[in-house]
């Protein structure tokens, strides 16, 4: 696991509290704070107040505007990571079309969360 500098923050656009909790646990292991946006309406205000180093998106969130989130990530210069239910390849394609480069099946993302977070934050630091 890579060491992440203090003060790093992740914005997790996740409606599911259980999944958000698992991400928070993994983030603690790599020394990162997680701020959650539990609905699409919370995303803009969280982006303004948090200035994250990484954005994580649950593509299954109802009403999610993946294109807007991908654009915000590019504008802020931070990577966006998305995950989707493995049975819904349409959501995977939607994430890729939105410009999100790092897209994982939910099961893989949850299994490898700490490693993915460490990798993405290390890459964002360069």
Domains belonging to the chain, first-starting first, are: 9-125 (3.40.50.2300)
Between the alpha carbon of residue 88 and those of residues 29, 92, 104, 106, 113, the distances in Å are 30, 7, 11, 10, 20
Among candidates 31, 6, 34, which has minimal Cα distance to 21? 34
Predicted TM-score (pTM) of the model is 0.89
Give yes or no for residue 12 having a pLDDT over 90: yes
The confidence band for 125, taking pLDDT boundaries of 50, 70 and 90, is: low
Across the range 32-61, mean pLDDT stands at 91
Residue 126 has pLDDT above 70, yes or no: no
Determine the pLDDT at residue 5.
44
Q: What's the confidence (pLDDT) of residue 18?
A: 92
Question: Rounded to an integer, what distance in angstroms lies between the CA atom of residue 97 and that of residue 78?
Answer: 18
Q: Does the pLDDT value for residue 121 go beyond 50?
A: yes
| pLDDT tens digit sequence for 93-118 | 999 999 999 999 999 999 999 999 98
Please, which residues have CB within 8 angstroms of residue 100's CB and are 6 or more apart in sequence? 57, 66, 69, 70, 73, 80, 81, 82
């Amino acid at each position: 696991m890579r060491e992440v500098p203090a003060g790093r923050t992740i914005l997790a656009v996740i409606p599911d509290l259980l999944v958000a909790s698992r991400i928070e646990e993994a983030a603690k292991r790599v020394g990162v704070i997680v701020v959650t946006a539990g609905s699409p309406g919370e995303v803009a205000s969280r982006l303004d107040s948090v200035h994250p180093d990484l954005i994580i998106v649950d593509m299954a969130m109802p009403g999610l505007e993946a294109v807007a989130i991908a654009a915000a990530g590019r504008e802020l210069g931070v990577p966006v990571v998305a995950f989707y239910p493995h049975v819904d390849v349409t959501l995977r394609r939607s994430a890729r079309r939105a410009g999100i480069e790092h897209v994982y099946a939910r099961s893989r993302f949850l299994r490898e969360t700490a490693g993915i977070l460490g990798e993405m934050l290390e890459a964002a630091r360069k």
